[in-house]
Amino acid sequence: MEHPFINDLSKLSLEELQTKISDLNNKLTFAYRTGKGPLIHQIGMVIESYRNEYKRKMDEMVSKQNLKTQINIEKK
pLDDT tens digits, 40-56: 999 999 999 999 999 99
Domain residue ranges of the chain, discontinuous segments joined by +: 14-75
Count of other CB atoms within 10 angstroms of residue 6: 14
**Nearest CA among 10, 41, 43 for reference residue 26:** 43
CA distance 12 to 35: 31
**Nearest CA among 22, 56, 26, 24 for reference residue 42:** 24
CA distance 37 to 40: 5
Q: Which of 3-12, 30-39, 64-73 has the lowest mean pLDDT?
A: 64-73
Global pTM?
0.78
pLDDT tens digits, 20-44: 999 999 999 999 999 999 999 999 9
3-state secondary structure (DSSP) of residue 20: helix
